[in-house]
Amino acid sequence: MRHLIDPMDFSIEELEDLFSLADEIIKDQNSFKKVCEDKILATLFYEPSTRTRFSFEVAMLRLGGKVIGFSDPGSSSVMKGESIPDTIRTVGSYVDIIAIRHPKEGAPKYASFYSPVPLINAGDGGHQHPTQTLTDLYTIRKTKGQISNLTIGLCGDLKFGRTVHSLVKAMSRYENIKFILISPKELQIPEYIKTEVLLKKGIPFIEIERLEDVIGTLDILYMTRVQKERFFNEADYIRLKDSYILDNEKLKLANKDLSILHPLPRVNEISYEVDDDPRAVYFQQVKYGMFVRMALIMKLLGVA
Ligand code: CP
């Protein structure tokens, strides 16, 4: 039995296998509509979500399976003080696979110690978001044809943005990747990502504040929102929330073959006018997330 807790839990070869399965699903969805018909997924979301929860649930439904779960732990016995281990043991005795999102860093890993079925980290606090990373890597592979030889700019809240942490870890395993880390000083990427991933592996990166100074050098621009829910002080959030707003004027400085990704939700950091630019792939990215999660469910359940 395998869980997915960290983006590094799958080797590059396993990821390629997963992405090939997602390709097959996209080509012929009909062939997959019964592969999980006797399986049940539980989505346990202790934090709000639109894409991750719905895409997991729709992924299971499109594979012929069924779904239970909560989007508000207040409607469950968590409100009576039930612990994560007891909740996971209980739900795990009813279902075949669990996806869990939790505001506490490390909660899904802790949950996995008690889970009798495969368990997926659907986002833990400001730490990791491995299935978003699968989505991001698959989107890069689809739009660029490869996940190597790329300069990727990550822009916005690099401190609290868990999707950024997971993506940097995952992309650091591919050939000839260069990171341009664009953020205000207060929202720079955590030190452990720099020391334990980038410096340790000798991966080139620069930290810079102005997007305009580097946008013309990028193959991929990964925009992120400032994570209001992780700030201790509202005044700091208000001061930093509009640090970056990508609009058509700024895009005039970018390459013609730039791909613009965003894990979403968006707040102000990408103007709506950018949505019509062919370089904006964030809504394709949303859809790829569903196919990647279909492939992931199949792999973890051993039906592929
Ligand atoms: N990208 C992402 O995790 O979106 P949700 O918070 O809506 O699930």
The CA distance from 212 to 202, in Å, is: 26
Give me ligand 1 centre to Cα 286, in Å: 9
Same domain, 259 and 294: no
Taking the chain (304 residues) in consecutive chunks of 10 residues, what is each chunk's mean pLDDT? 96 97 98 98 97 98 98 94 97 98 97 98 95 98 97 96 95 97 96 96 97 98 92 87 94 98 96 98 98 98 95
Are residues 119 and 135 both part of a single domain? no
264 lines ligand 1 (CB under 6 A): yes
- On whether both 93 and 163 belong to a single domain, the answer is no
Is there a catalytic annotation at residue 51? yes
Q: How far is CA 220 from the centre of its chain?
A: 16
Q: Are residues 154 and 116 both part of a single domain? A: no
Q: How far apart are CA 135 and CA 127, in angstroms?
A: 17
Cβ(265) – ligand 1 distance below 6 Å: yes
Is residue 1 situated within a structural domain? no
Domain for residue 2, yes or no?
no
Q: Based on the fold, state whether residues 40 and 105 are members of the same structural domain.
A: yes
**In a shared domain, residues 63 and 140:** no
Distance 229 CA to ligand 1 centre (A): 13
pTM here is 0.96
Instruction: For residue 269, give its domain range.
Output: 130-285
Instruction: Classify residue 89: in a domain, yes or no.
Output: yes
The pick from 132, 139, 157 for probing ligand 1's pocket by mutation, whose C-beta has the most ligand atoms within 8 angstroms, reads 132
Q: Which atom of ligand 1 lies at the shortest distance from residue 122's CA? A: 3
Q: Counting atoms of ligand 1 from 1, which one is nearest the CA of 53?
A: 8
Could you tell me if 137 and 269 lie in one domain? Answer: yes
pLDDT recorded at residue 32: 98
Catalytic residue among 51, 89, 109, 228: 51
Q: Based on the domain organization, do 12 and 114 belong to the same domain?
A: yes
- Whether 112 and 236 map to the same domain: the answer is no
Q: Check if the beta carbon of residue 248 is closer than 8 Å to that of residue 242.
A: no
User: What CATH number has the domain bearing residue 26?
Assistant: 3.40.50.1370
User: Tokens 């890993």 sit at which residue?
Assistant: 109
Q: How many domains would you assign to the chain? A: 2
Measured CA to CA, the distance from residue 190 to residue 227 in angstroms comes to 14
Question: Taking Cα atoms as reference points, which of 228, 161, 170, 233 lies closest to residue 198?
Answer: 170
Cα(248) to ligand 1 centroid in Å equals 25
Tell me: do 150 and 200 sit in the same domain: yes
Q: What is the pLDDT of residue 231?
A: 85
288's CB contacts (< 8 A; 6+ apart) are 22, 135, 138, 139, 142
Please check whether residues 116 and 179 belong to one and the same domain.
Answer: no
